[in-house]
Amino acid sequence: MPLRSLNQFRRLRQRLMRLRTHWLRFRGVVAPLDIEPSFSSRIVASRKGGVTVGSQTLIAFKTLIYDRDHLTGEFRPVRIGARCFIGGGSMILPGVSIGDDCIVGAGAVVSDDVPSRSIVGGNPARILKSNIEVGPFGRLRSADQP
C-alpha cells in the first residue's frame, strides 16, 4: 500500500522537475527538458550559455556548477555532455568540459576536462575507469544488457 501512495506523486514530481528545468533555462543554462536537476543543486550561469547540459543527464543533490572564476572574475563556460550522472555534493569548476556518457562521483571536485565514457572521483577529480557503457542518466549497463 505505501508504494501505491507514493506513486500518486509521480505526476507532481515530473511537473516540478520540468518547472525547475524551465527556471534554469530562464537563468541562462542551456539544457533540454529531459534533464533531471535536483532541487538542492546549484547551477549558476553568469550569462546565457555559461553552463550547457546535455540530454538525459542527472544532477544529484547539493551539486555546485558555476561558470565564473571568483578569483579573477573571468567567464569560463562549463559543458556537461549527454547521458551523464553528476554525483551528490560534487563541484564542477569554471571552464570544465565533461564528455558524453560520464559519471562524476559523489563529492568530487572537477577542475580539469573529463573525456567521454569515463568515471571520475576524488578531490581533485581523477579518472577511475575509462571506456564504460552507460544508459540514460548515467546508469551503468551490465554486460548482459543490450
For 19-73, the pLDDT digits (tens) are 888 888 888 899 998 898 988 999 999 899 899 999 999 999 999 999 998 889 8
58-59: strand order across its sheet: 36-37, 58-59, 85-86, 103-104, 118-121, 126-130
Task: State the catalytic residues.
Answer: 70
Q: How far is CA 11 from the centre of its chain?
A: 22
Question: How much is the pLDDT for 53?
Answer: 95
Is residue 143 situated within a structural domain? no
Is residue 144 situated within a structural domain? no
Question: How much is the pLDDT for 144?
Answer: 46
Question: How much is the pLDDT for 135?
Answer: 87
Distance (Å, rounded) from C-alpha 145 to C-alpha 89? 30
| pLDDT above 90 as % of the chain | 60
Range of the domain at 112: 2-138
Distance (Å, rounded) from C-alpha 132 to C-alpha 123? 21
Cell numbers placing 112: 580539469
Question: How much is the pLDDT for 142?
Answer: 66
- pLDDT higher than 60, residue 145: no
CATH number at residue 49: 2.160.10.10
Lowest mean pLDDT among 31-40, 107-116, 121-130, 133-142: 133-142
Is residue 130 situated within a structural domain? yes
The answer to whether 86 touches 104, Cβ cutoff 8 Å, is: yes
Q: How far is CA 127 from the centre of its chain?
A: 17
pLDDT tens, residue by residue, 73-82:
899 999 999 9
